[in-house]
Chain A
Amino acid sequence: MERGSSYPNAADTSAAAVPEETTLSIVQQRFKADETVHLIFEAYQIKGREHFEGLLTLVSSSSGGTYAIISFSLLRTPLTGSNDLKINKVFPINTSFKLTTDNKGSKTEQQFELCTDDDRPSQYCYHPIRTELGSDEFNEFCAEIDSCKRTMWDGGSPSEAVLNFRWLDDYREIGEVKQELKKRESEYIVYKDIVIYCATWNVNNRPCWDNKNTLRPWLACGEKAPDIYAIGLQELETTAKAMLNGNQMQMYATQWVRKILENLHNGVEYEELQSVRLYGIMLIIIVRKQLRQHIVRCRVNSVARGVFKTLGNKGGVAVSFQLNEANICFVNSHLAAHMGNVAERNDDYKAIDMSMRFEENGLQLRTINDHDHIFWLGDLNYRIQEPIGQQRPGPMSDAQTFELMLQFDQLRMEMSYDRCFKGYTEGEIKFAPTYKYDVGTDTYDTGEKQRAPAYCDRVLWKGKRIEQLEYNGVMEIRESDHKPVYAIFRVKIKTRDDYKYKMVLSEVLKAVDKRENDSQPQIITDRPIIEFGLVRFNEPVIRDFNVYNDCSQQVDFKFKVKDLPNDICEKWLHVDPRSDSLMIDSARSIRVRMLADANSVTGLLKKICSTSDRCDFDILILHVRSGRDIFITVTGEYQPSCFGLSMETMCRTERPIGEYTLTEIKELMLDVTPMYRVPMPREYFLLIDYLHKQSGQLKGIFQSYDRCQPLSSQFNAVRDWLDTWSDDKFPGTPQTAAEALLLLLDLPEQALLEPFVDDLLATRSKADAERYIDLLSEPKRNVFKHLCLFLCEGIERGDYDANNIATIFGRVLLRSSKCNVTIDYHSRCSEFMQRFIRIENPDTVVGGNGLSSASLQT
């Protein structure tokens, strides 16, 4: 069509037609802001015998820090926008990623396979964008992938745990709708402020009932009542005896939760969301009651460290949940102790960071880093590294001294070297070291070991839109050798505006539906109605029509098989091709041949009679794969002929059949009254009369008969001679006349001796049989008698062989419509016929004196 003509031929389309920048920028539009398309490589995807043109794009995500190949198919070429790209398959470049080349391929067409975790390899056939560059470009593609692998894995052995491919979820299992919603997030996402209170305290094995005093100075000190409390405790009870007694530990834990709940901000109703404990390390999450309903997917887990790295006296516990649209994670850890164990602390951190997983869809999938907001608190145990030769800092009180000490804080040093807590932030520390105090005092350790004061207890965070409001230690709580620490944050939580979301969702659904509707494969035909005009018996007519591919993708079409006649078309039609594929903007001619012949005319006449109005020859269903069906009406006017008509119908005519319209003939066919204009059809009489007169020249006739054999070349002339009651000389040979006679007898739906075929075959004598013959309709009875008389005479005169006649005519006249045909059916037919064509005493011959009687006066 017009639109289509501007397209290049489908075979020529390649990205080469478009400047590469354009393709790249269009592809880039399909990705998020922090994802970069590095390389586009055009390739055919091979699926079985078919292949599809597509683009392989190498993409990286800066948030995920990983690379992947995303395979697109093109809905339109050249590309006009990112909507023309359809994602086929996502290949994360992970440890299971493989690119294998097939060296058997020729230089210009090199096959390679891409392989990923779950699937069978998808095969791609190399097809360069710039042909003259040939395999160079493929090598470049491979080299680029290798370089990505190096970037990600730094030469070391790769571990799936550190590679984050979650950004790819937007392009695979998650549907188009989610992709679109994600893209338009800014339209319905608002940020709501919430206050998160993080607190940590190493309680030094003191059960909480020792704390006669209130915890309010610690837990209720902020100006504003927090929305979420995350309270981490360490050393709930670390004696071996207690650790082995689960019930006792649990009792301690329960007591602590109760105590904490009693000491929260006044005037707000709180409830415990979740607690998690690993021996003495416990994390309690408490939320405002009215916030609870907005929290989903709450999960916990722990990672044990400490003795043998597994005992659990050290380690971490964590809680993960989703609040509105934000994923939040709290971690409470107790890392390795003692001044010298910096590396162990780092290792503990790394182990917790890497192994902590939360369940998602039944799998331990979500890592700590898969959260929008992460708060890491606990007794991290980093100390103040005493500078060599410098005196241990004495008791301190002012900010300047804290600042001085913090210069030697191991955590800050390690973080500055990126050896732990990568990406985390800590607020300014303006409080005294929280360790180690003489219990019940604000005095640093005066005991034997005289441990140096240190900032063991810390709160760190990672993520966007987090603002720290306060960070402090609490001196007036003196039950432990550690002072409690708290940090208050204001976090802007990603929240869905339900109204705006609904609006966007409905727009997205509309757009996605529209894309699907518009990308439906379409073909058009130039003619929904195939008009054959006048169709005559035994004369094939051919009509061609065209189908065009009108859309922007390859289209497969086929004619659908219908229930009736369990084929794509009726017997009198032939359609070629029955199925095919059409490239964009290409056309295909389809040929339909109509032929009402010996094999199909009965069916056609039956269909005509059973249709109330004008009868179409057929309706073809042209089916487009994944698309609509088009009905192709095949129609025309069948010119009635005596062939295929019943003897009764023929006896109702008053003029040559050729002068009747189909509608008139149909009326005669549907007429069931026993009113006939002639005793037997003229057409039979004419043929038999002709043959009778040719006596002596009938050598070789009635030797064989097969309905499926092609008819002789003079047949159509004989047809017209019969259909016009022509006075002309018979236009054929005796052979043609014999052929026509057998066909006339054979074609009607009912055999001549129906409905008594079974009865007649059961009879033992001619006399028995004649009783049934007398019951036949008048036309049938007369044709039968007339025919037998003619055959008898012929045999008598030696025109043809009695056995042949019995076999051929027996089969035609006694053709059974029933399927229970016995083995000796044919011989019985033949026997039956023998009885009627045997030469007998002329006096007993039915019908009297021969064929000369011109008894067909109307």
Chain B
Amino acid sequence: MAKKTYDLLFKLLLIGDSGVGKTCILFRFSDDAFTSTFISTIGIDFKIKTVELRGKKIKLQIWDTAGQERFHTITTSYYRGAMGIMLVYDITNEKSFENIVKWLRNIDEHANEDVEKMILGNKCDMSDKRVVSKERGEAIAREHSIRFMETSAKSNINIDRAFCELAEAILDKTSGRESAENPERVVIDRGNSDKATSYSKCCA
């Protein structure tokens, strides 16, 4: 078959506690759809999605991992080779946020040293059930110099933007540190108001 339909291939990984919405985030990004029925991921699924960034077609191969505790040892073996990792917690679930530190440790131990990371506080549409404030999310991201965003797979908030920003960070690295204008940035969520304008274009 015709082989190359893209310029670059980035492998991304979604990790985080069970039930935080990793699969929903991926489903929203790849199929622009959402389902509220919870089916626990038992294994490693992946989907591909091609985005255009700076005139380049970038094929994202996104691996969705099982979040259940019993699989933690086994899922860490998939960290190797990932160029970007999305670390997801649920803003309505304190425990999932506390575990971020544990997941970060896992990344340090098992992932490539130069892996690009991003923390996502998912389910930000459920403000009435929120237990983790956005400030706490931002704080932990700042502390570890990681990008951060609050997202909602259900309401399609920041999903495209998150992936594009992570992909762009990898692209910066890949294309020989040409990103002098924004060195080592810690990107804090710029709010939901601009989500539809500047960023959704690149992934539309």
Contacts and interface: CB of A to CB of B under 8 A. Distances in A.
Do A and B make up one complex? Answer: yes
B42 to A, nearest CB: 5
B43 A628 contact: yes
Interface stretch (A94-102, A167-175, A370-378, A829-837): A167-175
A113 interface: no
Contacts of B180: none
Interface in A590-647: 613, 616, 619, 621-622, 628-631, 633
Nearest to A525: B42
A175 B43 contact: no
A563 B78 CA distance: 11
Given A616-B70, A631-B74, A176 B30 contact: no
A667 interface: no
A87 B1 contact: yes
Contact of A512 (B3, B43, B50, B69): B50
Contacts of B178: none
Interface in B109-143: none
Contact of B42 (A505, A506, A528): A528
Given A517-B30, A517-B48, A173 B70 contact: no
Main SS at interface, chain B: mixed
A177 B42 contact: no
B2 A629 contact: no
A157 B66 CA distance: 64
A87 B3 CA distance: 10
Interface string B1-26: 11111100000000000000000000
Contact of A629 (B1, B44, B50, B70): B44
Interface string B147-159: 0000000000000
B46 interface: yes
B57 A563 contact: no
Contact of B3 (A73, A173, A563, A629): A173
B5 A512 contact: yes
Nearest to B204: A506
A509 B30 contact: no
Contacts of B47: 513, 517
Contacts of A528: 42
B77 interface: yes
B42 A513 contact: no
Contacts of B74: 562, 619, 621, 631
A852 B5 CA distance: 85
B144 interface: no
Given A86-B1, A172-B2, A631 B50 contact: no
A514 B32 CA distance: 11
A586 interface: no
A788 to B, nearest CB: 43
B68 to A, nearest CB: 9
Interface of A: 73, 86-88, 171-179, 505-506, 509, 512-514, 516-517, 520, 528, 562-563, 613, 616, 619, 621-622, 628-631, 633
25 contacts: A73-B1, A86-B1, A87-B1, A87-B2, A172-B2, A173-B3, A175-B2, A175-B3, A175-B5, A176-B2, A177-B5, A177-B6, A177-B50, A505-B52, A509-B50, A513-B47, A613-B69, A619-B70, A619-B74, A621-B43, A628-B43, A628-B45, A629-B44, A630-B43, A631-B74
Given A513-B49, A628-B43, A629-B44, 19 more contacts: A88-B1, A177-B57, A506-B52, A509-B57, A512-B50, A516-B48, A517-B30, A562-B77, A613-B69, A616-B70, A619-B70, A619-B74, A628-B45, A630-B42, A630-B43, A631-B42, A631-B43, A631-B71, A633-B70
